[in-house]
């Protein structure tokens, strides 16, 4: 059986020796049937070999210069596609070759897909899968970068992504046997709430609500009440707001939710007090915690990353990788370096707290306050605004913040076409989003854009 094959690398097989050296950058094997190749041009399948490429099927939707990793739905669809090929009767006697192009960005994304498959289904360690991906090749994989419009200050590697997937799998953060890809792709859309689970049942990241549900300049805005049905259905009991006040928190608390404000400026990192408070709230909350800032990407991903590192011993790279696979664009600029700097301290905090919990049935708060003194920040990361509020944007004047720009970019995206039969029929194909906003349907409290042809 394929899953039990111990082999990780085989030399260039004779069956594909007809491919010219100039057309092939690398040709690697994960099993005796499954190969990964980097080719300059499209090859033709033969009697012994089946080639397929996903470069144009699974495409990352960038904000700026970011190009990956691909999201969880794409990883799921890729695994379904590959499993189907490996089980296909007509392909039983053929080698299966996933090939990618010389485009370094597409190559890195393809490597995470097949490497992720090896970790999830072939039960390889991330290191084993990565060794297979680099064996016999001198061409390194281009590291991923953040979704900011500035210079890249942190490299997220293919190995980081595979390790993040493995750590999430070990802790039960996802299970492709029960994963609802339609639900994931529905709610990640701006018009349907713009939300993603990072840790199912514990952490939900979402875009900040607005005072009133409406469509403004083609951008769907959601009031707090729009989230109530979904939150109640999924046992979300607590909301943490990290951006400036836009809506009245009483709209959540009057509906029975707990609500906390932990403001720090857009694009920056949390100070000690905010980090301590966030961890304490999440550690003492029954039910799931929904976290948002302006776009629900930078500040939101950073604090959730702190929790993953403290309680699940994720490395900074693993945390950033997993959060971005769940919610692309998360953790931006200096927030990446902040998590890397705080990794050892957060691990120590987690180890101490878990050890104390094992010895006594006390509330974690006294230990947390004492321990958090060790989590000191570099002065360059400290929020120097004593009022915890900004009257002007971080970019100067009264202009748009980083979060505003990211939200606007995300709202312009069109739904991806279906890639498996499980997908519902897309109603946006070939249409302008603005022409569809005229017809709305309330689904789980969110205004769902629909084509009047199918209404």
Q: What pLDDT, on a 0 to 100 scale, did the predictor assign at position 224?
A: 98
Q: What pLDDT, on a 0 to 100 scale, did the predictor assign at position 404?
A: 75
CA distance 259 to 249: 7
> Model's pTM, two decimal places?
0.80
CA distance 12 to 19: 10
Residues of the chain predicted below pLDDT 70: 1-27, 360-399, 407, 411-455
Nearest to 165 by CA among 69, 83, 81: 69
Task: Give the list of residues 6+ apart from residue 356 with CB closer than 8 angstroms, or none.
Answer: 362, 364, 367
- The yes-or-no answer on residue 293 being catalytic is yes
Q: What pLDDT, on a 0 to 100 scale, did the predictor assign at position 259?
A: 99
Q: Could you read off the pLDDT of 149-163 as tens digits, one per residue?
A: 889 999 999 999 999
Q: What pLDDT, on a 0 to 100 scale, did the predictor assign at position 150?
A: 86
| Catalytic-role residue among 24, 293, 306, 326 | 293
CA distance 193 to 207: 7
Q: What pLDDT, on a 0 to 100 scale, did the predictor assign at position 249?
A: 98
Complete domains list, the chain, with CATH: 2-166 (3.90.190.10), 189-390 (3.90.190.10), 421-454 (no CATH)
Three-state DSSP state, 407: helix
Q: What pLDDT, on a 0 to 100 scale, did the predictor assign at position 453?
A: 27
CA distance 349 to 407: 34
Q: What pLDDT, on a 0 to 100 scale, did the predictor assign at position 368?
A: 47
Q: What pLDDT, on a 0 to 100 scale, did the predictor assign at position 448?
A: 45
Nearest to 75 by CA among 129, 107, 42, 114: 114
Please give the share of the chain, as a percent, with pLDDT higher than 70.
75
The CA distances from residue 26 to 65, 68, 144, in Å, are: 26, 21, 20
CA distance 85 to 95: 10
Q: What pLDDT, on a 0 to 100 scale, did the predictor assign at position 26?
A: 60
């Amino acid at each position: 059986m394929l899953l039990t094959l111990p082999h990780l690398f085989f030399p260039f097989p004779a069956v594909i020796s007809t491919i010219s050296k100039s057309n092939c950058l690398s040709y690697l094997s994960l099993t005796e049937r499954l190969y990964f190749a980097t080719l300059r041009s499209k090859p033709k399948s033969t009697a012994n070999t089946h080639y397929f490429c996903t470069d144009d099927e699974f495409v990352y939707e960038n904000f700026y210069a970011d190009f990956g990793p691909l999201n969880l739905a794409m990883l799921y669809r890729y695994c379904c596609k590959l499993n189907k090929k490996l089980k296909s009767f007509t392909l039983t006697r053929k080698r299966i070759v996933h090939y990618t192009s010389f485009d370094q960005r597409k190559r890195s994304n393809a490597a995470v897909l097949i490497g992720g498959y090896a970790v999830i289904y072939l039960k390889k360690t991330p290191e084993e899968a990565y060794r297979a991906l680099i064996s016999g090749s001198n061409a390194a994989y281009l590291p991923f970068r953040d979704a900011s419009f500035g210079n890249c200050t942190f490299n997220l590697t293919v190995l980081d992504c595979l390790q993040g997937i493995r750590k999430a799998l070990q802790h039960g953060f996802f299970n492709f046997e029960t994963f609802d890809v339609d639900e994931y792709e529905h709610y990640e859309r701006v018009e349907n709430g713009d939300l993603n689970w990072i840790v199912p049942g514990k952490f939900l990241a979402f875009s900040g609500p607005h005072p009133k549900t409406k469509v403004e300049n083609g951008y769907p805005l959601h009031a707090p009440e729009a989230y109530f049905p979904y939150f109640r259905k999924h046992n979300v009991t607590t909301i943490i707001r990290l951006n400036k006040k836009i809506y009245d928190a009483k709209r959540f608390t009057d509906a029975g939710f707990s609500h906390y404000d932990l403001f720090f400026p857009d694009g920056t990192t949390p100070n000690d007090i905010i980090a301590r408070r966030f961890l304490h709230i999440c550690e003492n909350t029954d039910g799931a915690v929904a976290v948002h800032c302006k776009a629900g990407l930078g500040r939101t991903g950073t604090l959730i990353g702190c929790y993953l590192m403290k309680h699940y011993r994720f490395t900074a790279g693993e945390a950033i990788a997993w959060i971005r696979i769940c919610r692309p664009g998360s953790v931006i600029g200096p927030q990446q370096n902040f998590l890397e700097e705080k990794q050892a301290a957060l691990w120590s905090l987690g180890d101490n707290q878990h050890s104390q919990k094992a010895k006594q049935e006390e509330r974690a708060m006294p230990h947390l306050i004492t321990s958090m003194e060790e989590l000191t920040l570099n002065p360059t990361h400290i929020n120097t605004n004593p009022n915890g509020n900004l009257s002007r944007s971080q970019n100067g004047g009264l202009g748009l913040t980083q979060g505003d720009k990211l939200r606007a970019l995300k709202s312009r995206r069109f739904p991806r076409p279906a890639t498996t039969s499980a997908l519902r029929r897309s109603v946006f194909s070939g249409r302008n989003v603005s022409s569809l906003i005229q017809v709305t349907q309330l689904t789980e409290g969110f205004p769902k854009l629909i084509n009047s042809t199918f209404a």
